[in-house]
Structure 1
């Protein structure tokens, strides 16, 4: 895999910690790095960026899956699915933003 230079530097910093590779380089990030989009690893990104990033991709994936597999066959309104995807995505993004801030401070990757 060919990642941008800034990402390679960040990953080498994270490899020196006890954090598992799958944790500091999650699949959505690796996918974006492979296509050349240099999003920062989650431990080095801001809490706001992590919140938006994870809320958007998880909300979209969860909402699409739920709509096509559960809600559409029973005739649920589309706005219900959109609202639930927004709420679930927001909760997931908030949780991961808190988790990554905690892990980054644990390994002294950010200023306290």
Structure 2
């Protein structure tokens, strides 16, 4: 079974749940698919993959906005402190999102990625 076949089975299963489409096919996920990455929907991805694909963009965006609007003019705030703050914010957000996706998959009784091929 090809990745595209697997992906379509996953999308069909997700559409049969109460989960919103933007939740199981978020914009970053769609972008990575268009760029040629074989990305499982977040509810079928592993915890580390969800941590990285949600935490890294969040940490970069959050620390960049915080630097521009808050930290740039603060005395004692250095770029290295801002980068560490962004790293930890991204890590916490990524962990939270990975836990959320795992809990939502269990709540809605979704199959595992490997079980989809057996249906």
Coarse TM-score class (shorter-chain normalised): 0.7 to 0.9
User: 1:16, 1:42 → 2: CA distance?
Assistant: 16
Q: CA RMSD in A?
A: 1.9
Give CA-to-partner distance per residue, 1:22-49, whole Å, 9 cap, x none.
Answer: 1101111111112222211110111121
User: 2:90, 2:8 → 1: CA distance?
Assistant: 29
Residues 7 and 38 in structure 1, CA contact (< 8 A), matched pair in contact too? no
Structure 2 unaligned runs (5+)?
Answer: 113-119
Q: Is residue 2:10 matched to residue 1:10?
A: yes
Q: Is residue 2:45 matched to residue 1:53?
A: no
**Higher RCO, 1 or 2 (CA under 8 Å, sep at least 6)?**
2
How many residues are aligned here? 108
Larger radius of gyration: 2
Over 3 Å off, 4+ runs: 6-9
SS at match of 2:28: helix
User: 1:14, 1:102 → 2: CA distance?
Assistant: 14
Give the deviation of 1:79 after TM superposition.
1.0
Structure 1 unaligned runs (5+)?
Answer: none
Residues 67 and 82 in structure 2, CA contact (< 8 A), matched pair in contact too? yes
Q: Is residue 2:40 matched to residue 1:40?
A: yes
User: 2:19, 2:29 → 1: CA distance?
Assistant: 16
Instruction: Point out the more displaced range, 56-65 or 97-106.
Output: 56-65
Residues 29 and 39 in structure 1, CA contact (< 8 A), matched pair in contact too? yes
SS at match of 1:91: helix
User: 1:23, 1:33 → 2: CA distance?
Assistant: 15
